[in-house]
Amino acid sequence: MTNLVSAEHYQLLGELASGGMATVFLGRRRSRRSRQELVAIKSMRQELAEDEAFATMFLDEATLTSRIKHPNVVQTLDVASEGGKLLIVMEYVEGISLSRLLELLMQARGSIPPRIVVAIVCDLLRGLHAAHELVDGSNRPLFVVHRDVSPQNVIVGTDGVARILDFGVAKASSQRHVTMRGEIKGKLAYMPPEQALGEMVDRRSDVYAAGVVLWETLVGRRLFDARSEEELVRQIFDAQIDPPSLVADEPIPSAVDRVCLRALTHAREGRWSTAEEMADALAAALSPAHREDVSAFVRRTAAADLHERARHVQDLEQNAGALDAETQTLQHILTGRAERTARGVPSAPPPPTSRRPTTAEHVRMPAATPRRESSRSTQRREARRKRRRMRLVLGFVTGILVILVLMLAALILGRHAS
């Protein structure tokens, strides 16, 4: 694990939530230099953690994006890979995802006031710009692109600040063909045309996705919504996008329409050149709400969710230490190395190698000394081989489906151009 020192490690408190790609745990960062603060510890699901290509890219990207220090980006604190587990430790943000906020308002037949929308999306854009501007030690640009900007990846805090998260996860996932059912469809709805066609992406691709988020948050419904990937691709390339002011319940200035529609231009050359440029134009078109107003709106709209989360967090803190076997394994990964280092005891010597290790290998925990295989170990190894073969077959089939979707998209684009 990177950045762990003898004076600081983490205590796992319990599970917060579980999703398609990971389980999120609540933890506490303990340091002699500062107060104990809560953290979110994301454990990627086993299938992903055992995928060597995914794990390598995940560790590389998470380590890279941990350098992004900005109030509108959820801070990555640590990453680790050990014993078939893939973990990322992030700052804990008290708040609610933008997707959940929109869902609650849809249930209540309400909407987000335009000035609050502008405040949230400007925060999102400034967080993206900070990532896009990231440079290495020699001041060379690193060309970081999120690739999965969506309401699910925006957290609106009770402090009135919106933050973007999951930079490393987004890129690693985009390189992996095997995916959860419906995951491709969900991501397609926010993909710019060049990304849907499998072309190179840049910061303007994130600007497009932010434009979709802006449109949906102003209007209160999906911009592109279809029953199949093919129909969704057709909408992305063929649909005539209405200005938000024509379909939103609340009055929206025409200047906001222009900002939004420029971000949604098919050709990236026609979009805002940077996320910061779009944020400045949006703030000039409509003054963003104050932090206090955003905070009050979030607390009022998501009161039940926030109360339930606060009660759950309190229960986890009070029952710290009552962990099941799986959670105890994660706790060992998070604290074992730091405690051994504090006592001056090395965890395990790294295996000899004649090649230069990759970035991911620098942050992985050293492997334990190999033992003679038992019959159970042989069975486990054979089971892993079968799973790998199955993943290869699924990857091949999914790859064929993706190619067919891209061919259809190219055909639609050709017809659209003619």
CA gap 86, 78 in Å, rounded = 11
Residue 10 β-bridge partners:
29
Catalytic residue annotation: 148
Residues 6+ apart with CB under 8 A from 99: 150, 151, 152, 154
| Residue 396: count of CB within 10 angstroms of its CB | 12
Give yes or no for a contact between 229 and 188, defined as CB atoms under 8 angstroms apart: yes
Query: From residue 363, how far is each of 2, 125, 170 by CA, in Å?
Result: 5, 30, 19
CA gap 76, 299 in Å, rounded = 25
For residue 323, the one-letter residue type is L
| Residue 256: count of CB within 10 angstroms of its CB | 23
DSSP 229: H
Backbone angles phi, psi at 4, to 5 degrees: -75, 130
What beta strand segments (E) does 46-147 contain? 76-82, 85-91, 95-97
Query: From residue 315, how far is each of 13, 223, 308, 312 by CA, in Å?
Result: 9, 39, 11, 5
Residues 6+ apart with CB under 8 A from 16: 24, 25, 26, 40, 312, 313, 316
For residues 220-255, one letter each, b for 16 or more C-beta atoms within 10 angstroms of the residue's C-beta and e for the rest, the string is: beebbebeebeebbbbbbeeebebbbeebeeebeee
**Per 3-state DSSP, what percentage of the chain is helix, strand, and coil (rounded to 5)?**
50, 15, 35
Give just the sign of the alpha carbon dihedral 331, 29, 91, 318: positive
Helix, strand or coil, per DSSP, at residue 257: helix
Q: How far apart are the first and last CA of the chain?
A: 54
DSSP per-residue string spanning 385-408: HHHHHHHHHHHHHHHHHHHHHHHH
